[in-house]
Structure 1
Amino acid sequence: MTRPLPIAACLALACVLAPTALAQTPAPASQPAAPVQGALQGDAARGKALTYTCQGCHGVTGYKNAYPNYHVPRIGGQSEQYLFNALGEYRRGTRKHPTMQAQSQSFSEQDIADIAAYLSALKP
């Protein structure tokens, strides 16, 4: 039986990884990103700072986490709306994954919009 990596271990792993693991070059913006979910406008610069814990699992080459029993999905370059919805669902508990549910509990709706804006601008 495998258990998900505890949050503290994810954070420690993220600190050990090269800071450039998620620091890919954002795609050039031809126009401002559309607001996510009504009045919320994501701030990609702020979102970049909030994604440091994501590197522990999603920033590893091949998108494999510390337990290579399952594939960790690609998040860089995903649709902004998809990322916003996914994090919101983890936060509300309607999407199940213990680590992601725990991570998302610390984010406000604005944080989620900012994270989605940053990650969606990355080249996959």
Structure 2
Amino acid sequence: MSFRPAGSRPAVLGYAVALVFALSASIAAAQDAKPAAATSAKPAAAASAATAAQPAAEKPATAGAETAHSGVKLGDATAGQGKAAACGACHGMDGNSSDPQYPKLAGQSEQYIVQQLGNFKSGKRQNPIMMGMAAPLSEQDMHDIGAYFAGKTALPGVADQALVERGEQLYRQGDAAKGVPACMACHSIDGRGNPGALYPQLTSQHAQYIQATLKAMHDGTSWGDDAHAKIMPSIAQKLDEKDIAALASYVEGLHAADGAAAKPATP
């Protein structure tokens, strides 16, 4: 029995050819799969990167510094000092006016100052001088000026002792018979006001300014057409001249004494 190599050659060649085709097919499949995997992975990676970057992109650079008004930041007292220079001619450089016909702005809330400057600018509140001063101010300017004066302290005034009793009664108790509510219900027990509700600070304010303002409100003057602006005229109309004088004097003497925030000065 003899072995014939020539007869087995076709089978060997056939196996070799089959093996070559199998290897080629595997390599081609691997090459085709690699770009596909890279392509599918690329969008996923991009999407993941975009998702990771999204919170940083959406976070404002001045988080916590903006008010509800888009683009308007809370007042900057440092910037407000320069902007308030023109106000000093009437209201005093530190907000304590020396002329009692002009109100003290020291310690007044930023919110209230902004509101009133806006009223002057829009014409809701009429005053030739203040309308002209407010006209060129931006909302940011108003906030800065308000922040500057809010950081100052109102210098104490002195009440007329002869008017204190009636003034204190009106401020702290009101007058039920006349339908007059206690002033401190809105302006606080120590006269510091209520910034959130836009009720102004009254403590240490010049009696002459308070008296003139209450008289104007008694005669129907209003600082706006909204319900909030109509509160004081309706109350002032129930006060007579003696009530107004007593209340104005008491308010001027209403201030902290020896660090006691709620204790009024009653000289």
Change in Cα spacing, 1:42 to 1:62, as seen in structure 2 (3 Å) is closer
* Bigger Rg over Cα: 2
2:80 — aligned with what? 47
1:38 — aligned with what? 68
**Does structure 1 conserve the Cα–Cα contact (< 8 Å) formed by 2:97 and 2:103?**
no
Deviation for aligned residue 1:71: 1.4
1:63 — aligned with what? 98
RMSD, aligned α-carbons: 2.3
Residues 47-74 of structure 1 deviation map (CA, whole Å, 9 limit, x = unaligned): 000011111111186531xxxxx71111
Residues 7-52 of structure 1 deviation map (CA, whole Å, 9 limit, x = unaligned): xxxxxxxxxxxxxxxxxxxxxxxxxxx9796243111110000011
**Does structure 1 conserve the Cα–Cα contact (< 8 Å) formed by 2:91 and 2:104?**
yes
2:112 — aligned with what? 82
1:112 — aligned with what? 142
The code of the aligned residue for 2:130 comes to: M
Inter-partner Cα distance in structure 2 for 1:118 and 1:110: 12
**Does structure 1 conserve the Cα–Cα contact (< 8 Å) formed by 2:119 and 2:125?**
yes
1:67 — aligned with what? none
- Percent sequence identity over aligned pairs: 34
Inter-partner Cα distance in structure 2 for 1:37 and 1:109: 11
What secondary structure, in the 3-state scheme, does the structure 2 residue paired with 1:63 have?
coil
Change in Cα spacing, 1:72 to 1:80, as seen in structure 2 (3 Å) is same
Alignment pair present for 1:102 and 2:132: yes
The code of the aligned residue for 1:94 comes to: K
Contiguous gaps of at least 5 residues in structure 2: 1-63, 155-267
Question: TM-score, normalising length from structure 2?
Answer: 0.30
Deviation for aligned residue 1:76: 1.2
Change in Cα spacing, 1:90 to 1:62, as seen in structure 2 (3 Å) is closer
The code of the aligned residue for 2:134 comes to: S
What secondary structure, in the 3-state scheme, does the structure 2 residue paired with 1:107 have?
coil
Inter-partner Cα distance in structure 1 for 2:68 and 2:98: 31
- Length, aligned pairs only: 86
Residues 58-109 of structure 1 deviation map (CA, whole Å, 9 limit, x = unaligned): 1186531xxxxx7111111111111110111101110111000000011101
The code of the aligned residue for 1:106 comes to: P
Inter-partner Cα distance in structure 2 for 1:35 and 1:81: 15
Question: TM-score, normalising length from structure 1?
Answer: 0.62
**Does structure 2 conserve the Cα–Cα contact (< 8 Å) formed by 1:36 and 1:81?**
no
